[in-house]
């Protein structure tokens, strides 16, 4: 169950992590990616097009076309993917959706969520795909 990211963002994170364990600039079509991640091909294509527009993923058209990482895994952080798909407002806004939630006028979970939110943002801003390669490989192999 998603706690803070959309399904689209979850899939984007998974797809980019999947591409990061492949050889440099290896082109994979949406069918291969969807089969590996066990998600609908159309959903994969839609999400990867968003990531192509952001410059994280590249695409090649045609019979031997598909998707590949447009940057080295060491240059991509998880927060880049989140920002391209969902934006970063979840790290700025009230998790319960209360307008005007702030340190001066906190919601019921403001203090606890604030720490979790800050920790999550920090982790996603520091971790590169290169650093996550081994764990990603193990996870993909066990899907």
13: CATH: 1.10.10.10
88: helix, coil or strand?
coil
Q: Which two tokens stand for residue 14?
A: 């998974």
The mean pLDDT of 68-81, rounded to a whole number, is 96
Number of other CB atoms surrounding residue 31 within 10 Å = 12
Over range 18-31, report the average pLDDT: 91
Give the mean pLDDT of 34-63. 95
Q: List beta partners, residue 58.
A: 68
pLDDT of residue 18: 94
Domain extent for 56: 7-137
Give the pLDDT confidence of 82-99 residue by residue, as tens digits.
999 999 988 888 888 899
How far apart CA 50 and CA 1 sit, in angstroms, is 23
138 vs 129, residue with greater confidence = 129
The string of pLDDT tens digits covering residues 64-74 is 899 999 999 99
Handedness of CA 48, 49, 51, 56 (dihedral sign): positive
- Count of domains forming the chain: 1
């Amino acid at each position: 169950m998603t706690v803070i990211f959309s399904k689209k963002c979850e899939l984007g994170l998974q797809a980019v992590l999947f591409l990061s364990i492949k050889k440099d600039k290896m082109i994979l079509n949406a069918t291969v990616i969807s089969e590996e991640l066990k998600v609908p091909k159309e959903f994969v294509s839609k999400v990867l097009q968003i990531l192509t527009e952001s410059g994280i993923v590249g695409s090649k058209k045609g019979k031997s076309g598909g998707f590949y990482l447009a940057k080295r895994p060491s240059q991509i952080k998880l927060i880049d993917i989140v920002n391209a798909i969902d934006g970063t407002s979840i790290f700025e806004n009230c998790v319960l959706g209360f307008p005007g939630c702030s340190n001066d006028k906190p919601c019921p979970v403001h203090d606890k969520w604030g720490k979790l939110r800050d920790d999550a943002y920090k982790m996603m801003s520091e971790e590169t795909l290169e650093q996550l390669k081994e764990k990603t490989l193990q996870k993909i192999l066990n899907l």
